[in-house]
Amino acid sequence: MSLLVIYNPVCGDGTAKSFFEQEVLPLLERHGKNVEKIVATESAGHAGTILVDFLESVEGEINVVLGSGDGTLHEIINVVSSAELKGVRAVAPPSRLHFVLVPCGTANALYSSLFLPTSHEKHTAYRLRSVQSFIDGSGTVPLTLAITTLLAPPSERKRPRVAISSVVVSAALHASILHDSESLRKEMPGIERFKVAAQNNSTKWYNSFVKLLPSPSARVVQVYDPSAQDFVDHPESDECDPIVDLDGPFAYFLSTVNVDRLEPAFRITPLASKIPPAEPAFDVVIVRPMRDPSISWDTPEARVNFVAKMWTVLGSAYTNGTHINLRYAANGEIVSDGGGPTVVEYMRCGGWEWIPVN
């Protein structure tokens, strides 16, 4: 089994190189793990190219010690998948690849979901937990991959574009946050840039139609019921007509695979770990402002007034995912109990379609 080390020297706070030189590589050496190649990435997509070239040069299974954030893993998965589609013999089957994650990015959603942070563990020891598991010969965790097909408007006459994700696929506010936060990376390398980007997009609502599709075994779309503290069959989904149609506008729309959090403390889809699906599925978190009893029309004033409620939802995600239990009182106030409509629609499904409305 071959061992490749890749790290992204500019991700997160830019300390990946020193952390690998001082901690990761010495630890591997002390335990007799022979590293065949060590490469620092030089540009976007470089990590995937490194791995494809390595796959073509060796036989058998490959362990990749990857020092990065979620973005570099995303790039690798898409480059390797693209190479497979083009017929590069070396990349198949996917089971050849095993990743040993070293969290060096900003949020490290996948790592913090697989290795839950604790208050008593030293920071360095926590960052080395995946490497230590590899050294100890612990079992691996298979990744679920989400395939997204992006269609251009018919007038543009462009081919569909495919992206593969292992953490999150989103629209509305979260997608805007990811897009805008990139321009803030240099001046704000930490998590604070996501909060600034969120503030800059706080009054936007997104007009769209959404179709939620069932997973093969569940055969219906499921929705979280705070009263039952569990997923139940969605009232608009049955085996004869399982697709759930949702009208906008949407303030927040996010789906996850493999993770229950986007940051160590931001547990946005808490049931992904508490009540894991029996088969690969999306956990989807949706906020539609028109569910608020105090809002009758989409107006600039309504959007401004809803901002505080959106912050209540996102803030509650930092308190162990309690946002999924929030409800509206009859006057639109957000409460933690009662029988009013849920502020968050938390669904579990096999796929979804986002159809924007101009």
The CATH label, of 2.60.40, 1.25.40, 1.10.1060, 2.60.200, for the domain at 166-356 is 2.60.200
Average per-residue pLDDT in the chain? 92
pTM, full prediction = 0.92
Report the pLDDT averaged over residues 23-40.
96
Confidence bin at 187 (pLDDT 50/70/90): confident
Of 3.40.640.10, 3.40.605.10, 3.60.70.12, 3.40.50.10330, which CATH number belongs to 2-136? 3.40.50.10330
Position 121 scores a pLDDT of 85
pLDDT bin (cut points 50, 70, 90) of residue 181 is confident
Q: Picking from 96-105, 190-199, 206-215, which range would have the lowest pLDDT averaged per residue?
A: 190-199
In this prediction, residue 273 carries a pLDDT of 96
Structure confidence at residue 186 (pLDDT): 77
Pairwise CA distance, residues 287 & 292, whole Å: 10
Please enumerate, as own/partner, the contacts of 303-312 that have beta carbons within 8 Å and a separation of 24 or more. 303/203, 303/204, 303/205, 304/203, 306/251, 307/202, 307/203, 309/334, 309/343, 310/173, 310/202, 310/251, 310/252, 311/202, 312/343
pLDDT band at 294 (very low <50, low <70, confident <90, very high): very high
What are the C-alpha distances in Å from 178 to residues 182, 194, 289, 308, 337?
7, 7, 21, 21, 32
CA separation for the pair 316, 48 (Å, rounded): 36
pLDDT score for 185: 80
pLDDT at 84 over 60: no
- Is 90's pLDDT higher than 80? no
Domain positions in the chain: 2-136, 166-356
pLDDT at 95: 59
β-pair partners for 67: 7, 102
- Residue 306 has what pLDDT? 98
Quote the CA–CA distance of 170 and 354 in Å, as a whole number. 10
Token reading at 283: 């956990």
Q: Which tens digit of pLDDT belongs to each residue from 47-76?
A: 999 998 898 888 888 999 999 999 999 999
